[in-house]
Amino acid sequence: MRELVLDTETTGFEPAEGHRIVEIGAVELINLMPTGRTYHQYINPERDMPQGAFEVHGLSEDFLRDKPVFADIADAFLEFVGGDRLVIHNASFDMRFLNAELEWASKRRLGPDQAFDTLTFARKKYPGAPASLDALCRRFGIDNSAREKHGALLDSEILAEVYLELLGGQQPDFALSSEPEGTGAGGSAPRAPLPRRAQPLPPRLTEAERNAHRDFIATMGEDALWTRYARA
């Protein structure tokens, strides 16, 4: 399952008031694991930068002046996104801006069901508790010390960690679960196959280490997780 953890920076709060996107960042996850593939783009908003917005993200008019306008990057952005789920903190804000920009560029809009809102999810999971990105980093012990100002790609990377913690710290189960092959949890799409090396790496364990490990596992009993995995 492919997901994109996404964030934007803007000149203000409402596209209807003439505000524009100035930065988009996204991190690709497949089966809840970052692939290392990202999307990052600064955008010329073709307008001034309000002081309040500059204090949030530090992107000035001078810095953005030679960057492409949204219409010039819209096709590449849509190609990267495809039809996959967008994981966004306060999704209504970012989706409102993205769809406004897409409409102004005469491009297809993103579907309302394409976004998963981590802010709403966090508020339901921890009612009454602060649910900002910084607050969730504190809750989960995630280092966000590099976040002196908001930045779309950095915030996406941090949100990806928060998202996994919100889901319960989920990691791939290495095929130990009893799910039917071809579906993920809840009947989701099939997981992408893991790449295999053309030539397996040579073993690095000595025979003595293998024997010591086998003897240690034997002390754990028949119900040990490792024993069940070995049988599988």
Residues taking part in catalysis: 150
Which residues in 85-117 are b (16+ Cβ under 10 Å) and which e? bbbbbebebbbebbbbbbeebebeebeeebbeb
35 near 28, Cβ under 8 Å?
Answer: yes
Q: Is the dihedral of CA 89, 91, 92, 97 positive or negative?
A: positive
Residue matched to tokens 């649910």: 131
Would you give the DSSP letter of residue 100?
Answer: H
- Helices 152-166 and 118-125 pack at an angle, to 10 degrees, of 40
Structure tokens at 196: 């295999």
Round to whole Å and give the CA distance between 118 and 166.
Answer: 8
The C-alpha atoms of residue 193 and residue 30 are separated, in whole angstroms, by 10
Question: Which residues lie across from 85 on neighbouring strands?
Answer: 3
Taking CA atoms, 218 is separated from 108, 133, 213, 227, in Å, by: 59, 45, 9, 8
Count CB-CB contacts under 10 A for residue 172. Answer: 13
